[in-house]
Structure 1
Amino acid sequence: MFSPMGTQSVDWRESQERQFGAGTQMISGVKYPVELFMTANRFTSTLLTRVVLSSTSIHTVGLTKTDSYALTITTLDRQTGALVSQSQILSQITRGMRDVFVLNTRDTKAPAVVWFEKHDGTLHSVVLDSNILSPEIASTKIRFAKVHDVQLDNEGLFVAETKDELPYVFGMYSTGLKQEWDFDDSVRRLRSCLS
């Protein structure tokens, strides 16, 4: 069953015991077999945490427990419910979904996923607009300590913070992440104007 937050919890064993198509789930007025949503569970211990609708597809984003977490993305055709693609992106996500954001790109409004890998302080992203997912790493020499969801996912924005607590605003674009605002640089510019 879908909760208002867009997460889904279906007992995998129960799903395995039923015949394909025995149960259905309604999304945007279209019925889909419940088992289609469980295909991500072919990877060990996958927890589906976000369901994202685009104009042509339904994307499920989840985490698969490995040494850390791997990002699992399943794409279904929005009209038929047919499985379009399934990808598992190896990562070093350590804090679960606290380090993963689902956003819209600022330029095309396509859905995208951004995640933070604390071990090396890097930001990674992937746009969910094609069958082939090509993860990108943010091209910055700055190493971050944490990320913050600032509830601007429709605008494609989030904040990354350094260990010195300097915040940087990043925007998600169809070509990858771009630093939008540097608070440290703003303070420096203000100080130079005042001196």
Structure 2
Amino acid sequence: MSHNPQDVQFSTYGPERFAEHLPFARRGYLFTVPGGFPEDTPAHTNVTDWEMATYRARGEWEVRDINGERRVWGTGPSRRTAVGLAFQEIARKRRQRAKDIAEKRVTVLGLEPVPPYAVEVTGAVTLVLAPQAIGVLRLIQPGDYGQNAEYRVVDVDGGDPYDIRADNSVTLRTTQVGVFHDRCGHDPEDAARFENETDAVAYALQSMAMCWPCNVLDD
């Protein structure tokens, strides 16, 4: 997750992007602040990605979020400076929010600062089950007009690819494998999180074919 203004990817926008009454210049640049920024905040406090705009206003560069408060997060004499200050302010606010969440969990709810159990998906495979064969799905190919789609698969042993035409006799089954985290110090970004072991184990059993316990000593 990049938070260096020099690494931010910009795209230009023109007068058609925003209505005239909105507080954005008619021309400028769009970029994204990742929802997991900054990286030192717990994953369970992450938000969605923020789309931002930077543009010239009143003789300097200004940065404003598009879909939320539409507040100014940074200003400066150059685009790089304004974007850098915006990242700093967003990081400050998100760190404070993460701290507030942790304090509320402990002092108000009587919970641990971070949900202690996490079930992380580390792999998945989709099988195409047909009367004549079972294959590992690689691609769904749309059929010609009026024809069923075709599943491009490979043998479960990793053989050559072949096609299975979709019909009522064919089903798809996706299985997942993962890692069960229990106060190990890891903070997987995309994981289901639980307050108690019973719920975490039930989730792992219901949603995964296999789930291994994390061993922090192996890292």
TM bucket (normalised to shorter chain) is under 0.3
Larger radius of gyration: 2
**TM-score, normalised relative to structure 2:** 0.21
Structure holding more strand per residue: 1
Highest RCO, 1 vs 2 (Cα 8 Å, sep ≥ 6) = 2
Tell me the TM-score normalised to structure 1 length: 0.23
